[in-house]
Amino acid sequence: MARRGLVLLAAGLMVTGAAVVPRLTAGLAGSSGDDVALAGSRSDASTRVPAAASEEPGDDERLIVRIAPSVANASDAVDASAPLIVDVEVSNRTGEPLDASVVRLTAPGSPISDTASLDAWVSAPTGPAVAEVQVRPIGVGGAATASVSIPADVLGLQAGAPVVALGAELVVGGETAATGAAAFPSTTPTPARAVSVAVVGAITVPAQVTGLIDAEQLTAWTGPLGLLSRQLDSLAGRPVAIGIDPRIIVSIRVLGTDAPPAAVAWLERLAAVPNEIFPLAYADADLALQSQLGVGVLGVGTFDDVLDPARFQGDSEDATDAMPAAAAAAASARPATAGSGTDEHPVEASEASQASEASETPEPTEPAEPDPLPSTDDLLAWPYTRTDLAWPAEGTVAPGDLAAFRAAGLTTSILSAANVDADSGRNAASTLDGETALVADGRVTEALQAAATAPSEVAQREASARLLAELALRAAEPGDSAALLATLPRTAGENATRVATALDRLAESPVASPASLADTVGAPPTARTLVDGTEAEPRPSYARRMLDAEAREAEFATVLDDPTLLTAPVRRDLLALLDIAWRDLPDEWSTAVGTWLVARSDTVGAISVVPSSPVNVLSSETGVPTTIENRLPYPANIVVNVAPSNGRLIVDDEVAVTLAPESRSNVRVPVEAGVGNGQVVLTVTLHSPTGVAVGSAVQIPANVQADWEGLGAAVLAVLVVAFFAFGLWRTIRRRRKARAEEAAAAEAADADAGETGSEERASGSEERATGSPEIASGSDASSDTPDDEDAPNGIHADERPAPQADDAPEPRDG
């Protein structure tokens, strides 16, 4: 109900020329009613942008009083001799409701004629009261606006001065609770000359954790009310040089034919703007931080890992739809001989080449088909006005940084006033330690940034009036007109309408003359002294850890045939985390860095040896089984090495293997048994083909019993010999037994034969006694028989068969 009451009261006051500006919580102090379209374009907490830069430290814990010329006075210039209407805004940042109060306006006792008197007045805006107005009660985080009319004769003392100053005292319960001060350019006298002012702005995106912007985010940001469209609307055609993050251009181009139409149209609009354009560091990475870490200026690397050939197929015209004509022309305008040797006499070389072609008539060859994929140079190419500018974060440059920028080709640096010794009224062109720089004017820049990031309309008009008052004082100073530089904050795109209004009022004011960067650089330089702006911890420590993690992953990436598959996205994301936009989000940045470091550690540990149970080695030559895991989405080349803890095992060689993506592979490393048996600890390590250690070493216990192989062979040999010996013994025994049986049978036969022979001999004796001729003949035969040893064929006499009766010799005659 309270908020609804504020809204109704605002509607009523707007009719009478007053307004109530509701304020949100401190966390959304940087947003405004005309920038609500941005809220829908943020994807997560990592893309949040800090509160408006116009809010001073402690603004969310105090009362703020602002004074601005009435809406009716569009030029912000006032006539001190005429009646004046101003708007007073009171913002409650105390955390407690504010009772009804009174705002009392005061004027200085003497004219404001220079910056010193203006500073003195702003620091203590006390003087005679010229008007006062009642202010209603204000709730927590709210604001109230009231209009005050100042009579013509009250400010007459300031007539003829370059500026008209006013102060305000907020009185609550009779006590002064807060004060405010404002200065407006005067309509009289007319300035003798205008001050040349060059303005630099940026087109960037909120802090991101990735080095490329996806298609969905590009669609939102390049839509009619998207962040990038609003930024371009606020800067295009106005007197401001544009520094653009190349990440935006590349993110659109790498999508090829899949690029969102809104993004392609936005890129074409950017190519057509008449503004001066120069590139920021990729992802607007913090240049000073890189230099202070000793790495110079980091390059972005390649984009080959995200180029899909399917997005660049078809006719050449279709393939270049995502590249504006101006940028494509700039890319094609690069010398065809870039990267080749130079020739001091190109005409003579051309004639010699023609003569050589005339003398030699090579066979015609078909022209090589052009690569449909754009190169990294093609993706980064743009028709920049200049490419030699470095724009580090405000107040971060340290001694030696400018030389590091120059070594990277950035010969001119844009510095804030906080980075140099105090000065005023001099040209932006400067020399510091022999280096060239453009130093932004602190007073003008502060007022411009306050106007560009003002949280309310009254605050915007107050800041714009202060900006023109500063220039009016500068124009009133004697001497030649200075060529000044003012910079917009990088987050100004959040308040694009405020930026456009501030730039328009600057361009329309008679005290300011828009200037180009070329004009500012060409002005006589001023010698200045650099103030050390070394970045404070813990930012450098976190960045160093990121650089170390990137270096480790680059070494690990040698396991791939194409290491850029890992190194390219890592470098882009590293640069994204070094974005200057993260400086205003320290807590979110530390969380993002921690997440990134964990991801790097996981990648480096994606290839590892799987721990194994103890193994037994029972032979003199065998292979140790080892399981290797590859969690990468790419094939990996790995060399496996096994180191034994003692001489019981000997490893002769390593084993090289290619692991399939997201898989486990079994690898056998050959080992040879050494001397003795016992326990051995095998330490398994991995390294890339280039010798970079991969993963952690794993120890596998092994029990070596290699002598079992020789013992088993000996036992087997004994068994074989015993088997054959037993078989031979059995054969011999069997044969001996057979012979014995045969001998026994023979003896039996001989015995039988002997008995028969005795009978025959007895019969023969009888026959001999009778003079039988057979017996005589038998006696002769018996006497002629040789001994057994002399028997033919080794046949003994007793083994010969007995003669049969039929075989007896016939009796001889006479």
Determine the pLDDT at residue 345.
35
pLDDT category of residue 788 using cuts at 50, 70 and 90: very low
Determine the pLDDT at residue 595.
97
Residue 369: how many other CB atoms lie within 10 Å: 6
Q: Which residues pair with 630 in a beta bridge?
A: 607, 663
Determine the pLDDT at residue 756.
59
Statement: residue 94 has pLDDT above 60: yes
Determine the pLDDT at residue 701.
83
Cα–Cα distance measured from residue 29 to residue 16, given in angstroms and rounded to the nearest whole number: 27
Evaluate whether residue 148 is within a structural domain: yes
Q: For residue 136, give both structure tokens.
A: 């209603």
| pTM for the whole structure | 0.75
Evaluate whether residue 222 is within a structural domain: no
Looking at per-residue pLDDT, the higher value among 112 and 758 belongs to 112
Determine the pLDDT at residue 766.
52
Mean pLDDT of 36-51: 32
- Same structural domain for residues 591 and 727? no
Determine the pLDDT at residue 367.
53
Lowest pLDDT segment from 375-379, 486-490, 642-646 = 642-646
Q: Which helix (H) or strand (E) holds 449?
A: helix 442-452
Residue range 300-317, pLDDT digits in tens:
999 999 999 999 986 444
Mean pLDDT of 58-83: 79
Determine the pLDDT at residue 683.
87
Determine the pLDDT at residue 650.
73
Looking at per-residue pLDDT, the higher value among 224 and 755 belongs to 224
Statement: residue 424 has pLDDT above 90: no
Q: Which residues pair with 579 in a beta bridge?
A: 285
Q: For residue 518, give both structure tokens.
A: 């070329």
SS (H, E, C) 366-404: CCCCCCCCCCHHHHHCCCCCCCCEECCCCCCCCCCHHHH
CB 268 within 8 A of CB 320: no
Mean pLDDT of 750-764: 62
Evaluate whether residue 80 is within a structural domain: yes
Give the angle subtended at the CA of 294 by the CAs of 292 and 295, to the nearest 5°.
Answer: 115
Evaluate whether residue 460 is within a structural domain: no
Looking at per-residue pLDDT, the higher value among 354 and 68 belongs to 68
The one-character DSSP state at 792 is G
- Same structural domain for residues 75 and 170? yes
Determine the pLDDT at residue 327.
47
Q: What is the overall mean pLDDT for the chain?
A: 79
Residue 554: how many other CB atoms lie within 10 Å: 16
Last residue of a domain, one of 123, 158, 190: 190
Statement: residue 17 has pLDDT above 50: no
Residue range 708-742, pLDDT digits in tens:
555 555 567 777 787 788 778 788 878 888 888 88
Determine the pLDDT at residue 642.
86
Q: Is 512 helix (H, G, I), strand (E, B) or coil?
A: strand
Lowest pLDDT segment from 111-125, 220-234, 373-387 = 111-125
Q: Which residues pair with 413 in a beta bridge?
A: 390, 437
- Same structural domain for residues 760 and 644? no
- Same structural domain for residues 743 and 756? yes
CATH number of the structural domain spanning residue 8: 2.60.40.10
SS (H, E, C) 416-429: CHHHECCCCCCCCE
CB 307 within 8 A of CB 415: no
CB 614 within 8 A of CB 598: no
CB 454 within 8 A of CB 460: yes
Lowest pLDDT segment from 138-142, 217-221, 424-428 = 424-428
SS (H, E, C) 470-507: HHHHHHHCCCCCCEEEEECCHHHHHHHHHHHHHHHHHH
Cα–Cα distance measured from residue 646 to residue 203, given in angstroms and rounded to the nearest whole number: 65
- Same structural domain for residues 583 and 649? no
- Same structural domain for residues 74 and 186? yes
Evaluate whether residue 496 is within a structural domain: no
> In what side-by-side order are the strands of the sheet with 63-69?
63-69, 84-92, 143-150
Determine the pLDDT at residue 27.
31
Determine the pLDDT at residue 15.
31
- Same structural domain for residues 641 and 776? no
Residue 334: how many other CB atoms lie within 10 Å: 12
Statement: residue 9 has pLDDT above 60: no
Determine the pLDDT at residue 191.
73
Evaluate whether residue 594 is within a structural domain: yes
13-27, 370-384, 436-450 — which one is most confidently predicted on average?
436-450
Determine the pLDDT at residue 113.
87
Looking at per-residue pLDDT, the higher value among 204 and 792 belongs to 204
Determine the pLDDT at residue 32.
34
- Same structural domain for residues 586 and 679? no
Determine the pLDDT at residue 152.
82
- Same structural domain for residues 558 and 643? no
Determine the pLDDT at residue 433.
86
Count up the domains in the chain and report the number. 4
SS (H, E, C) 304-341: HHHCCHHHHCCCHHHHCCCCCHHHHHHHHCCCCCCCCC
Report residue 98: phi and psi, to 5°. -110, 125
Determine the pLDDT at residue 785.
41
Evaluate whether residue 285 is within a structural domain: no
Determine the pLDDT at residue 657.
93
Cα–Cα distance measured from residue 88 to residue 462, given in angstroms and rounded to the nearest whole number: 10
Determine the pLDDT at residue 371.
65
Determine the pLDDT at residue 316.
44
Residue range 135-177, pLDDT digits in tens:
999 999 999 999 999 988 888 788 888 999 999 999 998 889 9
Cα–Cα distance measured from residue 466 to residue 463, given in angstroms and rounded to the nearest whole number: 5
Mean pLDDT of 677-702: 87
Statement: residue 504 has pLDDT above 90: yes
Evaluate whether residue 468 is within a structural domain: no
The one-character DSSP state at 705 is -
Calculate the alpha carbon distances from 639 to 389, 663, 684, 694, 812 in Å: 47, 16, 11, 9, 110
Helices (runs of H) and strands (runs of E) counted in the chain: 21, 26
Cα–Cα distance measured from residue 157 to residue 473, given in angstroms and rounded to the nearest whole number: 17
Q: Which domain holds residue 103?
A: 2-30+62-190
Statement: residue 127 has pLDDT above 90: no
- Same structural domain for residues 702 and 653? yes
Q: For residue 341, give both structure tokens.
A: 């040797």
CB 112 within 8 A of CB 169: no
Residue range 596-611, pLDDT digits in tens:
999 999 999 999 998 8
CB 383 within 8 A of CB 272: no
- Same structural domain for residues 636 and 692? yes
Mean pLDDT of 284-304: 96
Statement: residue 578 has pLDDT above 90: yes
Q: Which residues pair with 679 in a beta bridge?
A: 703
pLDDT category of residue 675 using cuts at 50, 70 and 90: low
CB 197 within 8 A of CB 448: no
Q: Judge residue 377's burial from the number of C-beta atoms within 10 Å of its C-beta, 0-12 exposed, 13-18 middle, 19 or more buried.
A: exposed
Mean pLDDT of 275-298: 97
In the chain, % of residues over pLDDT 70 = 74
Mean pLDDT of 252-274: 97
Mean pLDDT of 8-18: 35
Q: Which residues pair with 254 in a beta bridge?
A: none
Last residue of a domain, one of 167, 190, 213: 190
Query: Side-chain half-sphere of 150: how many Cα atoms within 13 Å?
Result: 31
Cα–Cα distance measured from residue 807 to residue 814, given in angstroms and rounded to the nearest whole number: 21
Last residue of a domain, one of 148, 165, 190: 190
- Same structural domain for residues 108 and 95? yes
Determine the pLDDT at residue 626.
86
Q: Is 97 helix (H, G, I), strand (E, B) or coil?
A: coil
pLDDT category of residue 755 using cuts at 50, 70 and 90: low
